[in-house]
């Protein structure tokens, strides 16, 4: 999984980078088919925002979380993306193994 971390109006320190990497590693525990992950951290006046765009096969999953603390926003973001990845994984698994239902056509005499 390729992980890129971008900071808007802030410098991404090694501590923040390590924290984000640990939180995003939790997602790979559930789902291995992640192609690319881009995390954008931004700070405005009293609003710290963390966004993630995760590319999986056939779909891009996007989440955003806001909080007064950057680390809390990253925690919220990790929870949201984790739920969405589990939902996506269950959908792909359920549809892949569902048998094809054939509709019977009544015979015309």
How is domain 2-96 classified at the CATH fold level? Answer: Double Stranded RNA Binding Domain (3.30.160)
Q: At what angle do helices 14-30 and 70-96 cross, to 10 degrees?
A: 20
Q: In terms of DSSP H, where are the helices of 1-68?
A: 14-30
- Kindly give the confidence (pLDDT) of every residue in the chain, 109 residues in length, as a single tens digit, with 9 standing for 90 and above: 789 999 999 999 999 999 999 999 888 777 778 889 999 999 998 899 999 999 988 889 999 999 999 999 999 999 999 999 888 888 887 765 555 566 667 777 6
pLDDT given at position 96: 57
pTM: 0.80
Strand partners, 59: 56
Q: Give pLDDT, residue 29.
A: 79
Q: Own/partner pairs for 12-18, CB < 8 Å, 24+ apart? A: 12/41, 16/41, 16/70
pLDDT attached to residue 63: 94
């Amino acid at each position: 999984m390729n992980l890129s971390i971008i900071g808007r109006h802030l410098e991404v320190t090694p501590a923040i980078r390590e924290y984000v990497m640990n939180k995003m590693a939790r997602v790979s525990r559930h789902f291995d088919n992640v192609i690319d992950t881009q995390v954008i951290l931004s700070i405005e006046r009293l609003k710290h925002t963390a966004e993630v765009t995760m590319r999986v096969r056939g779909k891009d999953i996007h989440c955003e979380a806001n909080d007064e603390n950057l680390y809390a926003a990253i925690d919220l973001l990790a929870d949201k993306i984790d739920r969405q990845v589990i939902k996506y994984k269950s959908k792909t698994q359920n549809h892949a193994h569902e048998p094809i239902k054939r509709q019977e056509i009544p015979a015309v005499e």
